């Protein structure tokens, strides 16, 4: 099994993944789409929105992430917005269907073992979700502190991402501006 040395939570989830073939780029760049304070609990691979990508189950949401050569796809499903989950397994793969606010997302070709566990964990998160009408706990908790060392650490992390070539100069400038505007 490949080792990634991205972040402890991502490395642990990647180690439990049935196979990382075709998902290396997404695993390595996953921190760029995570919210501050968000941790990855489980990963799987699947086909959604015209591409094969990475499914990340975090403490706050379900994310589909595809980092292609020409384009990037990120679609997230905060737990407070998910109404139900369906898993339909076949011989080797299956389809994870996520229902949100009258919409339906079918993530296909998920390996059977990963998909079953992912669906069960997603149901657990939904069951522990927010009270109807209450704002989701995740984003409010994540966005609350924006002073002092948090800003400094966010800027330092951003500098590291650019230094490692994981984000472009344009992305660096845009994200730096967003961080500074949050003050």
pTM: 0.66
The DSSP result for 60-90, as a single string, is SEEEEEEE-SS-EEEEEEEGGGEEEEEEEE-
pLDDT surpasses 50 at 75: yes
Say if CB 130 and CB 60 are below 8 A apart.
Answer: no
pLDDT surpasses 90 at 98: yes
Output the CA torsion 174→177→179→180 (10° steps): 170
Which residue, among 151, 152, 173, has the nearest Cα to 162 in the 3D structure? 173
Interval 131-164: pLDDT, tens:
333 344 444 333 433 344 467 777 777 777 777 7
Interval 14-40: pLDDT, tens:
888 877 666 788 888 899 999 988 999
Task: Name the residue with tokens 């997302």.
Answer: 105
pLDDT of residue 68: 78
């Amino acid at each position: 099994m490949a080792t990634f040395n991205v972040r402890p939570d991502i490395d642990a989830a990647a180690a439990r993944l049935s196979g990382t073939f075709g998902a290396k780029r997404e695993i390595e760049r996953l921190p760029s789409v995570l919210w501050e304070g968000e941790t990855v609990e489980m990963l799987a691979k699947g086909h959604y929105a015209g591409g094969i990508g990475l499914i990340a189950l975090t403490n706050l949401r379900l994310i589909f992430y595809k980092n292609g050569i020409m384009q990037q796809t990120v679609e997230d499903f905060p737990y407070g917005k998910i109404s139900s989950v369906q898993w339909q397994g076949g011989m080797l793969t299956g389809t994870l269907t996520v229902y949100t606010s009258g919409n339906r997302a079918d993530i296909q070709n998920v390996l059977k073992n990963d998909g079953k566990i992912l669906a069960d964990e997603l149901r657990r998160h939904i069951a522990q979700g927010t009270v109807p009408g209450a704002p989701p706990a995740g984003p409010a908790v994540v966005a609350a502190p924006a002073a002092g060392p948090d800003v400094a650490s966010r800027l330092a992390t951003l500098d590291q991402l650019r230094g490692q070539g994981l984000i472009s100069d344009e992305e660096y400038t845009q994200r730096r501006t967003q961080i500074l505007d949050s003050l």
